[in-house]
Amino acid sequence: MLIHTLFDALAWAMAALAALWVRRRHGAAFARIGLTERPGYWISGLAGLGLGASAVAALNNGLAGLLPIGHSVAGALAGGILAVEAYKAAQGIRGSTGGILVLPLALGIAVGRFGCLAAGIEDFTYGLPTALPWAHDFGDGVPRHPVPVYESLAMLGFAALFVAALERRWPIPSDTWFYLFAIWYGAQRFAWEFLKPYPLVLGPLNLYHLICAGLIVYGLGMLAARGRQQSGIAAGA
pLDDT digits (tens, 9 = 90+) for 142-171: 999 999 999 999 999 999 999 999 999 999
- Residue 236's CB is within 10 A of a number of other CB atoms, namely 6
Q: How confident is the model at residue 221 (pLDDT cuts 50, 70, 90)?
A: very high
Q: Which among 75, 49, 44 has a CA at the least distance from the CA of 60?
A: 75
Per-residue pLDDT averaged across 193-202, rounded? Answer: 96
Asked if pLDDT for residue 32 goes beyond 80, the answer is no
Per-residue pLDDT, 148: 96
Q: How confident is the model at residue 71 (pLDDT cuts 50, 70, 90)?
A: confident
For residues 76 and 8, the model is more confident at: 76
Q: What is the pTM of this model?
A: 0.93
Residue 161 · residue 177 · CB < 8 Å: no
